[in-house]
Amino acid sequence: MADCELCGAARPTLCPVKVRDESVILAYPKGTWRGINEECLDRCHEANVNRVPIKAKNAIYAAQGMCLYSR
């Protein structure tokens, strides 16, 4: 049994996912492996598919007259 890195649920098997963890980026510049269960992996995939591209987000802020760097 192992705990999911995101929600902490214990499962017999986890999906290995390579992540870029900023806290250990100096030791592992190419990323480290984390165990994530299937439900969290599905949610991560869903979020990645539905995310707003950075350039489009900036265009929306610019259209609303908001400065990106004053926050």
E strand or H helix at 38: helix 38-50
When asked if residue 7 is in the footprint of Zn ion (CB under 5 A), the reply is: yes
Give the separation between CA 41 and CA 2, rounded to whole angstroms. Answer: 15
14 binds Zn ion (CB under 5 A): no
Q: Which of 6, 17, 19, 44 binds Zn ion (CB under 5 A)?
A: 6
Please identify which residue in 1, 2, 3, 4 interacts with Zn ion, judged by CB under 5 A: 4
What does residue 63 show for φ and ψ, rounded to 5 degrees?
-65, -30
- Residue 48 Cβ vs Zn ion, minimum distance, rounded to whole Å: 16
